[in-house]
Amino acid sequence: MKRGPYVRSKMSGDEAPLALVVVGNVTTEGRIRSIMKHQGWRTEFCSDGDKAVDEYVRLRPDMVLLSLDIPSMDGHIAALEMRESDYNARIAIVTSRSGKEKAEDAAYSTGAVGVLVTPLTQTVFDEQWEAMMGDIPPAIGLADLDELYPEVEEPEAPLEPPMPFPPMMPPMPEAVEMPLVPLPGGEALAPVEEKPPKKKLGWFGRFLLLIIIATAAGGVYVAMYGIPEELPFEIPSF
C-alpha cells in the first residue's frame, strides 16, 4: 500500500497535518479516522454544516472531508463558504453511490480536489490521494453563492410619522352692541342699566338701626299718652 505524501500543516511546521471531517455518519467517521491516521494525519469532527464553517475558520485545517447531506446547512453551500473565507481551502466531497452525480456537480462548483464514494476504504483513498493533494481547482460556484444562499436582512422598522400640529383655534368674534328695541309708540327702549347689588348692613349698622327705632317708638308713646307720673323703675340720682 502506498502512503500519501506528508503535507506541512498550516498550524505548525512540526505538527501533523489536520483534516476536518464533516460527514454526520459514525461509521464513515470511524473509517476516515483510521485511514487518515495511517496517512499520518490528525482529524477533527463536526456534524453540523453551519458550525463546520466556523470550525474551518477557527482551525484552518489542511483538508476538509465533507458530505453534502449534513444538518443545518447544505454541504455544497458550506464548501463554498469555506472557499470564500479561504480560497486555498482543500475540500474533498464524501458521497454514497446514489449521490455521486450530485457530488460531482458540487465538486465542480466548489473546486473540490476529489469525490470519495462510500463505503470508504484505504484503496479508495489511495486511488484519489494524488489528486486530493494536487492543485486546488477554482471555485466557479462562488459567483452564484449569493443566489444559492442569499442573506436575509432584517427589515428596518418603519419610521413613525411626525405628530401633527393641533388645529388652529378660530378667532373669537368681536362683541356686538345690541340695537335698541323700538316701542309701539315709536320710542326706543333704552337698555336697562344693571345696578350694583346693595351692600348688606353689618352688626354695628343693625344695632344703630334698632336704637333709632326704639327712640322713635318712645317719642310716639310720650306724644300720645304723656309721661307717666310713676315709672315702674326709679331713676338713679347722680
- In contact, 94 and 67? CB cutoff 8 Å: yes
16-55 pLDDT per residue, tens: 999 999 998 999 999 999 999 999 999 999 988 889 999 9
143-161 pLDDT per residue, tens: 887 765 555 555 666 677 7
Which DSSP letter does residue 116 get?
Answer: E
Calculate mean pLDDT across residues 73-91: 94
Q: How far is CA 176 from the centre of its chain?
A: 60
At residue 211, the pLDDT reads: 80
Calculate mean pLDDT across residues 216-233: 65
In sequence order, the β-bridge partners of residue 206 are none
Calculate mean pLDDT across residues 197-210: 68
At residue 105, the pLDDT reads: 95
CA distance 59 to 189: 109
Taking each helix axis as running N to C, give the angle between helix 122-132 and helix 26-38, from 0 to 180 degrees, rounded to the nearest 10: 70
At residue 43, the pLDDT reads: 97
Output the nine-digit C-alpha cell for 174.
368681536
DSSP, collapsed to helix, strand or coil, labels residue 182 as: strand
Calculate mean pLDDT across residues 73-98: 94
At residue 185, the pLDDT reads: 60
CA distance 137 to 108: 8
Residue type for position 18: L
Calculate mean pLDDT across residues 123-130: 94
At residue 192, the pLDDT reads: 58
54-64 pLDDT per residue, tens: 999 999 999 99
The mean pLDDT of the chain is: 80
Structural domains for the chain: 18-148 (3.40.50.2300)
Calculate mean pLDDT across residues 77-98: 95
Higher pLDDT residue, 196 or 169?
Answer: 169
Which DSSP letter does residue 100 get?
Answer: H
> Is-above-0.75 flag for pTM?
no
pLDDT at 205 over 50: yes
At residue 232, the pLDDT reads: 57
pLDDT at 237 over 70: no
